[in-house]
Amino acid sequence: MASASGTIEEHLDGFRTEYFEVEPTEERLLALLRELFEEHWADVIFGPCIEGAVFEGRFSARPTVTVLDGYLTADVGGAASWHFHLCIGAHTGTRSRPTPPALAAWRRCARAAFFRGLDAAGTASSWGLRLWNGRGEQMITVFLPNPWIDPARERYVDAPDWRRLALWMDLRARHAGVPAEPPPAASPPPRTH
């Protein structure tokens, strides 16, 4: 289903997700993900978000973002390091172990979109970015600051702080071509799962 501003995906529980597509070129994804993870690393939560499982990771320090053979790596480094890889570009493998083209196409990000989660009444409850591979499998969800969540307490609030949408609005405008919108005049708190 399409709306004037994006595509709406209906969920079995009555909730919906509105998507705003981003051209998934290596250059655009690298610029977007580098900005998110190198400049706004302290403000985002990320991981897979699928029915039955949500991983909510955060970096405790600024990661470095690099690319090798089409794979973006975000890594903090150090003794307690952890990192992740996302295939965002051409992936060929090595001379001794070349990657078959069908496998490279499967691994590579084929769709990227900013999203806004809506409860059954249509109240927005989450904002972020999502990437899918060539088979439509989710690679990562990046949750951006939420006006309904106090970032210090990580709890829902009664009155939203709409300034927390500034990053989502700015990134969506620059990478998906969707102009920023004014906050709703009045909005009841969203119903969450």
Domain harbouring 100, CATH code: 3.40.1570.10
Please indicate, yes or no, if residue 181 is contained in any of the structural domains. no
Residue 5's φ and ψ, nearest 5 degrees, are -110, -20
Q: What value does the mean pLDDT take over residues 169-173?
A: 97
This prediction has a pTM of 0.92
* pLDDT band at 147; cut points 50, 70, 90: very high
Please indicate, yes or no, if residue 23 is contained in any of the structural domains. yes
Flag the least confident range among 37-41, 141-145, 148-152, 181-185. Answer: 181-185
Please indicate, yes or no, if residue 187 is contained in any of the structural domains. no
Please indicate, yes or no, if residue 193 is contained in any of the structural domains. no
pLDDT per residue over 1-55, tens digit each? 434 468 999 999 989 999 999 999 999 999 999 999 999 999 999 999 998 999 9
Rounded CA-CA distance 7/147 in Å is 22
pLDDT per residue over 47-96, tens digit each? 999 989 999 999 989 999 999 999 999 998 877 678 999 999 999 999 99
Q: Quote the number of domains for the chain.
A: 1
pLDDT per residue over 93-140, tens digit each? 999 999 999 999 999 999 999 999 999 998 899 999 999 999 999 999
In this structure, what token pair is assigned to residue 178?
A: 């969707």
Please indicate, yes or no, if residue 36 is contained in any of the structural domains. yes
Please indicate, yes or no, if residue 185 is contained in any of the structural domains. no
Please indicate, yes or no, if residue 188 is contained in any of the structural domains. no
The CA-atom distances, in angstroms, between 67 and each of 64, 91, 124, 137 are: 10, 11, 34, 21
Give the range of the structural domain holding residue 119, as residue numbers without chain letter. Answer: 7-176
Please indicate, yes or no, if residue 186 is contained in any of the structural domains. no
Query: Reduced to 3 states, what is the DSSP secondary structure of residue 77?
Result: coil
Rounded CA-CA distance 32/22 in Å is 10
